[in-house]
Amino acid sequence: MNTRWKPSVTVAAIVEREGRYLLVEEHTPEGLRLNNPAGHLDPGESPQQAVAREALEETAHRFTPTALVGVYLSRFQRPATGEDITYLRFAFCGELGTFDPDRPLDEGIVRTLWMTPDEVRASTDRHRSPLVLRCIEDHLAGQRHPLELVDTDPSVTQAAGAGRVAGA
């Protein structure tokens, strides 16, 4: 029996302000790690909607994506369990909006912090994945693509059964 391979689709917010990048410190099965504000794409949302939601949940800041920094494919093998996961990440840069001081951060998020590129580079042993630094380096290099590069068909946000034929 063949099992279809399905990578986990994730999104990340690459936020720079005055030469510093916004990161989150979070609990993971591998210990306390640094990550870009990031998370999984949920059913019924576009990657752009997902990154706005994830940034709000993890930083208590509104985030409006303005450009796609890149699309990344990576593989992670969890040392403790041997779990083998492939991630497909859409990284967006954009505008950081208002902060809601009354909003609790997502479960597992310890704090947000602003780090210079050199501080990020010096902390790679604490990164959740190699994509943390890779996305920042691509942003520093000026890599930007129009949001329209990532198209979400309306069938994604429609009720089940109301969209086009699967695989179309």
> To 5 degrees, how large is the angle CA 111–CA 133–CA 22?
30
What are the CA-CA distances from residue 53 to residues 101, 125, 154 (Å)?
16, 27, 19
Going by C-beta distance under 8 Å and a sequence separation of 6 or more, which residues neighbour residue 1?
A: none
Give me the pLDDT at residue 124, please. 97
The arithmetic mean of pLDDT across residues 13-23, rounded, is 98
Q: What fold, for 8-145?
A: Nucleoside Triphosphate Pyrophosphohydrolase (3.90.79)
pLDDT exceeds 70 at position 145? yes
DSSP one-letter code for 160:
T
Cα dihedral sign, 69-66-34-81: negative
pLDDT in tens, 82-92: 788 899 999 99
The pLDDT assigned to 105 comes to 96
- Round to whole Å and give the CA distance between 57 and 74: 24
Average pLDDT over residues 22-31: 94
Binning pLDDT at 50, 70 and 90, where does residue 80 land?
Answer: confident
pLDDT tens, residue by residue, 97-141: 999 999 999 999 999 999 999 999 999 999 999 999 999 999 999
